[in-house]
Chains A and B, each alone.
Chain A
Amino acid sequence: MAKLIGGLGTSHVPSIGAAIDKGLRDTPDWKPFFDGYIPGQGWVKEHKPDVAIVIFNDHGNSFFLDKVPTFAVGCAEEYRPVDEGWGPRAIPPFRGAVDFSWHFIDTLIENRFDPMICQEIEVDHGIQVPMELFWGRPVEWPVRVVPIFVNVIQYPIPLPSRCYEMGRVLRQAIESYPGDERFVVLGTGGLSHQLQGARAGFVNPEADRAFLNDIATDPDKLANMSREQYVEMFGSEGAELMMWLVMRGAMDRDVVVQHKHYFVPASMTGAGMIVMENAATASPAVAA
């Protein structure tokens, strides 16, 4: 049977991709940030997932304001990098897990979630950067992907609790899938940042660190917060952190944190990573 082997959380700041492209990885501004991901990369190398389900938001690249799906699920054979204004980035296209995507969509609908279904769509830094942070720059990605797009830009955006509930349905889809693939779920976005208005540049390291604890130990608290509380604590764009709840909702109540990392600022953002496994099936903790 298909199996969920871990839940990963990470920022997806576009400047991270630009820093890799420009060869800035080892500069003083970026080295401490990237070094913090080495244990996370070690974890995926060791655990060899087959499929990565990545929850992220499009940033006005694949969708314009003419059509804004609250939730959209990709079921394409391939996802190419989209032109965000600077030309498509020179990274390999992502191969889709088509069969699982359709199974997931079926499961969602049966559970009263009604996503947009995307058979042909390009993807932006929201998925690119997390993939690069955990898998580096392979010639070909060693995992197939299922993109889940969440609208966190055009209000009304969904409730944090709704993201959490979607995660539970995702878990059900994984466990009812008749394959023996190993799945990881990536919740992406955040942490605190604000790009617009006179409060631009707002970061909240204290709240970010608390979030990295709570996502493991007290996700119900995070799921019960209002959208306004997210905006207030994490900034207008930092509210996208609620997407980590889809990942967390797919996991058991009790998890083991294998790796964690926080760095501020990556560009204008508090940036963080977490690697979690369900406590019931966790591998022995490695030296963090």
Chain B
Amino acid sequence: MEEKPEQDRIPDTPLFDRKRSLGGYRINKMAMGLSRPENREAFKQDEGAYLDRFGLTPEEKEAVMTRNWREMVRLGGNLFFILKISAVDPVRITEIGAHQAGMEHDDFLRNRLGKKV
């Protein structure tokens, strides 16, 4: 059953399918927790301890703690959940986009979004 997963038929476009949803459940549940003020406070106070509450693997923990958005998505993080991290540790969504595209922020704005910067 090593069939190529359907989502990869569109290049560089990870669809949130069964495999990613199962794999990313811990990361996404942790991020979902940030929609509560007391959890945002806990994340700010001791991020590692907060992540441990959700049983993140060392690999997942590192991806989150280094704000490695590309890696979080690779591990099954879904942007709508992990974006909540930016409510605690602010970063623009275009920076998250540029990081995943592997581009400098200004290049990303110019070349992907057609902005004059």
Contacts and interface: CB of A to CB of B under 8 A. Distances in A.
A265 B78 CA distance: 22
A231 interface: yes
B78 A231 contact: no
B79 interface: yes
A182 B23 CA distance: 46
Contacts, number: 112
A194 interface: yes
A109 interface: no
Given A201-B101, A202-B112, A232 B81 contact: no
B58 interface: no
Interface in B12-45: 12-18, 21, 25, 28-29, 32, 34-37, 40
Interface in A240-285: 264-265, 267-268
A201 B109 CA distance: 8
A203 interface: yes
Interface residues on A, range: 35 or more
What does DSSP make chain B's interface, helix, strand, loop or mixed?
helix
Contact of B78 (A60, A83, A199, A205): A60
A13 B60 CA distance: 28
- Chain B interface bracket (under 10, 10 to 19, 20 to 34, 35 or more): 35 or more
Q: Which secondary structure dominates chain A's binding surface?
A: loop
Contacts of B115: 265
B84 A236 contact: no
Contacts of A268: 93-94, 97, 113
Contacts of B1: none
B10 A155 contact: no
Contacts of A228: 6, 9-10
Nearest to B18: A155
Contacts of A267: 93-94
Contacts of B28: 60, 64-65
Contact of B113 (A64, A199, A201, A232): A201
Interface string A41-73: 000000000000000000111001100000000
Contact of A154 (B21, B35, B40): B21
B98 interface: yes
Interface stretch (A84-92, A164-172, A211-219): A84-92
Nearest to B97: A200
A201 B98 contact: yes
State the 6 A-B residue pairs at the shortest beta-carbon distance, nearest first: A201-B112, A85-B87, A198-B12, A85-B84, A199-B12, A60-B80
Interface of A: 15, 59-61, 64-65, 82-87, 153-155, 194-203, 205, 228, 231-232, 235-237, 264-265, 267-268
29 contacts: A84-B87, A85-B84, A87-B37, A153-B78, A154-B16, A195-B93, A195-B96, A195-B97, A197-B12, A197-B73, A197-B100, A198-B11, A198-B12, A199-B10, A199-B11, A200-B96, A200-B100, A201-B94, A201-B98, A201-B108, A202-B112, A203-B113, A228-B9, A232-B10, A235-B13, A236-B14, A264-B114, A267-B93, A268-B113
Given A153-B80, A197-B12, A197-B14, 17 more contacts: A64-B28, A64-B29, A83-B37, A85-B88, A153-B16, A154-B16, A195-B79, A199-B13, A200-B96, A200-B100, A201-B94, A231-B10, A235-B13, A236-B15, A265-B113, A267-B93, A268-B113
